[in-house]
Structure formats: structure tokens, C-alpha cells
Amino acid sequence: MAFYLVAMGAIVYFLIIRPQRQQQKEHEGLVTSLKTGDDVILQSGLFGKIAAVTDRDVMLEISKGVKVRVLKSSVQGKVTVEAPKADEAAKKEEK
């Protein structure tokens, strides 16, 4: 009987608790590495460029001249902004 309890505890640890801790450590590393000029995405799906960083929050520029203050913890990840391809630019000019 005790073996089953230990086995269930081990399964819960390796399938739920351990991966969640690893993900939390990765997110903490991301939050501490934020700096001005980084392009990020928030948990809400908002994209923007970091204009200023403080201890608890960041000032995010979501459009030219539009800045919002958000908690660092709401940053989901960094994104890479790709320049528009020449084909896409040509299609836009044709229209």
C-alpha cells in the first residue's frame, strides 16, 4: 500500500511539479534580462517595444507615441521583428 502512495507522489512530482518549476525559472530569467529596446509580447497578446525598465514594471511603447506601463511579470516572451519582405512591399504598392 505504501509503495503505491510513493509511486503516485513520484509521478505527480515528475509530471507536474518539476516541469512547472523549470518553466517558472525560465520566465524569471526572461524577466531579469529585459532591457530597453527589446520587442516583447505580453500575456494579453499585446506587442510592443520596451521604452524603460524599473524594478517591478516596464514602460512599453505599443505604437508611435503611445506608451503603457505594465508589470514585468506580464511579459510572456521576447519576439524578433522581421523586416517586411520585398514581395510583400511590392504587393502593397500595387494596390
What would the pLDDT profile of 13-33 be if each residue is shown by its tens digit?
999 999 999 999 999 999 999
Q: Could you please state the CATH topology (level 3) that the domain comprising 2-81 is classified under.
A: SH3 type barrels. (2.30.30)
Q: What confidence score (pLDDT) does residue 83 get? A: 64
Q: How far apart are the first and last CA of the chain?
A: 73
Those residues of the chain that have pLDDT short of 70 are: 83-95
d(CA 72, CA 28): 10
Residue ranges per domain, the chain? 2-81
